Amino acid sequence: MKTYLVTGGAGFIGSNFVHYMLKRYNDAKIINVDSLTYAGNLENLKSIEGNPNYTFVKANICDKEAMSRIFEKNDIDYVVNFAAESHVDRSISDPEIFVETNVKGTVNLLNVAKEFWQAGEDEYKNGCKFLQVSTDEVYGSLGAEGFFTESTPLCPHSPYSASKASADMLVKAYFDTFKLPINITRCSNNYGPYQFPEKLIPLIINNALHHRDLPIYGDGLNIRDWLYVEDHCKAIDMVIRSGKIGEVYNIGGHNERMNVTIVKTIIEYINENVDKEVDDTLITYVKDRKGHDRRYGIDPEKIKNDLGWYPETSFEVGIKKTINWYLNNKEWIKSVTNGQYKDYYEKMYGIN
Ligand code: NAD
Ligand code: DAU
């Protein structure tokens, strides 16, 4: 039996990871610690509440006593650190919480893991590992050519990506200085079930279903590299099990699309399959995001060659699954936005 301390497991990727692991392994014990910010929702985990291999603890990763108590009570083998403030727009309007959770929270977890795992000078509990879930955004922005590799210099632009890059450097410092066993994964944009409807894909689906304007920032030609969330979960599992200690692994499936293409793909599917009134006239070009990165593109050769990872869900299949999930889970959207949705978007974009 291996025990995983999953932080941020009530959020989008974290909850998908918890489901993925419990489905895949009978001998994985998951402790999910989450402070339940606006982005964390226990609704995402309802179906596994009674699973004997799953425990939820409501706590903040910045809280040393709370994290220590979890390590005291449980023989933790792996920390998988998803907990973060994750939305770039929020980091532009309110940067400090990003430093608090993403930087200070990570260093707190590193300290607690180091203390409880330490078995001697530069020696740690057999097989333990701290996996930091990072992002391609730490590399900055690409021009028309080339891809991010693991040796691309870090060049973050937003307060969000700067906080994630800081956390990455601290995680690496704990390996370089203390030999704490770590890996860092840097994935491209995820999409799929349980993503909070402030992010592009669920926001567009939800707005389209309500015949609301579909906001596109700037000229809509910015490019993101999209990966179905389950393929990210599979990659993290593989890095935990087989990743070489101290290494960084990029994760992505060479699936680059312009934002406007994403929006039009969603409109087309809804128009053809759900509601004829949803069409391109809903598209509204709005003020650009400050410091908006132009293009992300991951080179995933290392994780493919070294660990045998490959993405299983094509974008064509994944986007349909995602739209259908949101169609079938309208109550979920209502429950997570908790009535704040309308005010938030009116404030952010002047949209009603
Ligand atoms: P999310 O915002 O959906 O979820 C974050 C979770 O962390 C929430 O459940 C929230 O309640 C919890 N949390 C926040 N602050 C906390 C704190 N101080 N203590 C405990 N829990 C706290 O985020 P996501 O999109 O699922 O992203 C998860 C991780 O993956 C993040 O670290 C993010 O940087 C990284 N990532 C995201 C993407 C993406 O496309 N969404 C891509 C690559 C990497
Ligand atoms: O690349 C990985 C990152 O992807 C993660 O590290 C972040 O946690 C995650 O939020 C995501 O960041 P992005 O900024 O790329 O995602 P977002 O969904 O906010 O925006 C995607 C693109 O769409 C971006 O170019 C901005 C644009 N956009 C976004 C929204 C919300 C719009 O044009 N309109 C919108 O309403």
Average pLDDT, the chain: 96
Instruction: Report the pLDDT value the prediction gives residue 281, as an integer from 0 to 100.
Output: 97
Q: What is the pLDDT of residues 45-72, one digit of tens each?
A: 999 999 999 999 999 999 999 999 999 9
Closest C-alpha to ligand 1, atom 29: 82
- Give the closest ligand to the alpha carbon of residue 32: 1
Ligand 1 pocket test: pick from 5, 6, 13 the residue with the most ligand atoms within 8 Å of its Cβ. 13
Tell me: pLDDT of 350 over 70: no
- Does residue 123 carry a catalytic annotation? no
224 lines ligand 2 (CB under 6 A): yes
> Cα of 135 to ligand 2 centre, how many Å?
12
pLDDT the model gives residue 29: 98
Ligand 1 center to 301 CA (angstroms) = 25
- Ligand 1 atom 4, closest CA: 11
| pLDDT value of position 349 | 53
d(CA 324, CA 320): 6
Q: What is the pLDDT of residue 335?
A: 84
136 is catalytic: yes
Provide the pLDDT for residue 49.
Answer: 94
Residue 334: per-residue pLDDT: 83
Task: Please give the average per-residue pLDDT across 321-343, as a whole number.
Answer: 83
Ligand 1, residues 37, 61, 262: which to mutate, most atoms within 8 A of Cβ? 37
Map the chain to HEC letters. Answer: CEEEEEECCCCHHHHHHHHHHHHHCCCEEEEEEECCCCCCCHHHHHHHCCCCCEEEEECCCCCHHHHHHHHHHCCCCEEEECCCCCCHHHHHHCCHHHHHHHHHHHHHHHHHHHHHHEEECCEECCCCEEEEEEEHHHHCCCCCCCCECCCCCCCCCCHHHHHHHHHHHHHHHHHHHHCCCEEEEEECEEECCCCCCCCHHHHHHHHHHCCCCEEEECCCCCEEEEEEHHHHHHHHHHHHHHCCCCCEEEECCCCEEEHHHHHHHHHHHHHHHCCCCCCHHHEEEECCCCCCCCECCECCHHHHHHHCCCCCCCHHHHHHHHHHHHHHCHHHHHHHHCCCHHHHHHHHHCCC
295 CB less than 6 Å from ligand 2?
no
CB of residue 101 inside a 6 A radius of ligand 1: yes
Question: pLDDT band at residue 352, thresholds of 50, 70 and 90?
Answer: very low
Least distant ligand from the CA of 221 = 2
Cβ neighbour number for residue 350 with a 10 Å cutoff? 12
Q: Identify the active-site residue in 34, 85, 136, 237.
A: 136
pLDDT in tens, 75-113: 999 999 999 999 999 999 999 999 999 999 999 999 999
CA of 37 to the centre of ligand 1 (A): 10
Is the CB of residue 216 below 6 angstroms from any atom belonging to ligand 2?
yes
Ligand 1 contacts CB of residue 35 (under 6 A): yes
pTM to 2 decimals? Answer: 0.97
Domains with residue ranges and CATH for the chain: 2-191+228-253 (3.40.50.720)
Does the CB atom of residue 88 touch ligand 2 within 6 A?
yes
Nearest Cα residue to atom 21 of ligand 2: 200
For 145-204, the pLDDT digits (tens) are 999 999 999 999 999 999 999 999 999 999 999 999 999 999 999 999 999 999 999 999
Q: Look at residue 338 in the predicted model and tell me its pLDDT.
A: 67
Q: What is the pLDDT of residue 336?
A: 84
322 lines ligand 1 (CB under 6 A): no
Candidates 78, 160, 228, 296; catalytic one: 160
The CA 86 to ligand 1 mean position distance, Å, reads 5
